[in-house]
Structures are given as structure tokens and as C-alpha cells.
Amino acid sequence: MPIFEFRCLQCGKLFEKLFLDQQAEIELKCPRCGADSLDRVISRANPVMGTKGKKTTLTTKSCSPGSSCMTLEVPGAGD
Ligand SMILES: [Zn+2]
């Protein structure tokens, strides 16, 4: 299961997000303060499995004026 770790830029809260689908529209926001200004934290050696080189793009729903939408490009595990 691909698990990504994020850090809230507002309050510094660290949290993990589990992505069940390879391509999914998800809502990413801080569980503590609700901010959508997040930093992707690379903490796992192998966060993505079974994608076989397919590039997965995760786009958050939380696109608001004044703040850029977050798009995550997740490279596959490779061949
Ligand atoms: Zn926060």
C-alpha cells in the first residue's frame, strides 16, 4: 500500500495518508488545523509498490484561490 507522509506548513503536524487507488482524487489537508498547505515528506524507502513504471498523478480537490493546487507525481517502482 502506498503511504505518503506529509507535513503541514501551517502547524507542522506530521501525518500519513494511505492511497488505496493508484489514481485517485483525494482531499489532502491537515488533520489538526485543516490547512491544505502541505509538504510531501519522503520517509519511506519504498512507498509505491506494484505500479510497474506507471506514473501516477494524484490531484487534490482542495484547490482554492490564492493557493496552488497540489499535484503529486508518483513514479512507479520501475521495471
Ligand atoms: Zn496543520
pTM above the 0.75 mark? no
Q: What is the pLDDT along the chain (79 residues), one digit of tens a residue?
A: 678 889 999 999 999 888 776 655 667 889 999 999 999 887 555 545 555 555 666 665 556 666 666 666 666 655 5
Say if residues 70 and 62 touch (Cβ distance below 8 Å).
yes
Measured between alpha carbons, how far is 61 from 13 in angstroms, rounded to an integer? 20
CA of 64 to the centre of ligand 1 (A): 16
> Which phi and psi (to 5°) does residue 37 adopt?
-90, 100
Give the Å distance between the CA of 32 and the centre of ligand 1: 5
| 54 Cα: distance to centroid of ligand 1 (angstroms) | 31
User: Residue 56's beta-bridge partner residues?
Assistant: 74
- d(CA 46, CA 2) in angstroms, rounded, equals 8
10, 78 contact by CB (below 8 A): no
